Amino acid sequence: MLSETLQQKFETLKALFAEMDRALIAYSGGIDSTLVAKVASDALGDRALAVTAVSPSLLPEDLEDACTQAAEIGIRHELVETHEMENPNYAANPTNRCYFCKSELHDTLKPMAIAQGYPYVVDGVNADDLQDYRPGIQAAKERGARSPLAEVGITKLEVRELAKHLGLPCWDKPAQPCLSSRFPYGEEITIAKLQRVGRAEVYLRRLGLKTLRVRSESDTARIELPADQLKEFVLTANLPALVEAFKSFGFVYVTLDLEGFQSGKLNQVLELSTRQ
C-alpha cells in the first residue's frame, strides 16, 4: 500500500499524462523510463509511444529486456538508431560527455515526435537525478523535453515503490547507465572498448551477480561489487576462468575494487578537483 504522500504524487503523475493527450517516451528499459512508459500507457493508451535509442553504448541484452518489458506493458514501441559515437565531442569523453549523448538522443526524438504528431517528448529523469551531476538533463531541457517524475517530485526510492505497486517485474532492477559511464573522463571511447566492457558485465551477470560495474581504465578492468559481497566472491568465484574470459574480451589486467560498488564513482574526480 502506498503512503498518502506517494499516492498523491501518483495521482498527479497520472493527471499530468492525461493533460498531455499524446506523448513520446524516451524509453531505455531502465526502471525510471519503464515506470513512465507504464503510467503513460495506462493514461493514454495508443496515444503513447515508447522509443528506444539503439547504439553501441546499449547492451544487446538490455535492448532485449526493454523490448520484453514494453510488450508486457502493452505500449507501442519503436527503435531508432542514434549516432553519438560519430561526434568527436562525445568520443573524447569530456566531463560533460552526457550532454552530447542526450543532445543526439533528443535531436533524433524531437523531429520524430513532430512528424508523428506527438506534442511532448518525456524522459525518466526523477527528482533525485536533479541533485546529481547530470549534464544530459540540460541538453534535454534545451530541446523541450519534459521529465514527469521530476516535475511531480518522485524520488528514486519512490520510483521503485510505484513500480512494485504496479506489478512491474523490473521494480528491483539495478540501475544500468550507458556503457560509456564505465570510462574515466578523458579516456577516448571506442566501439571496441564498449563491447569488451559489455561482454565482461554480461559474463558477471551470468554468474548470478546483479549489482555490478566493470570500470575500464586503459587495458585494466576494475570490477565493482557491493562491499558485503566481496569476500564471498573471492572465495567462491572461479577467478582463473574469470581472468581468462576477461582477457579474451580484450583486457590485459583484471582487478577488484576493494571499496565496493558505488554508483557514479568516476565522478569523484570532479569532486576532488572542486575541492582543490
Active site residues: 178
Strands 220-224 and 23-26: unpaired
Distance CA 15, CA 92 (A): 42
AA letter at 50: A
Phi, psi of 146 (to 5 degrees): -115, 155
What residues contact 156, with CB distance under 8 A and at least 6 apart? Answer: 32, 126, 128, 129
What residues contact 221, with CB distance under 8 A and at least 6 apart? Answer: 197, 200, 214, 215, 246, 251, 253, 254, 255
Tell me if 161 sits within 8 A of 68, measured CB to CB. no
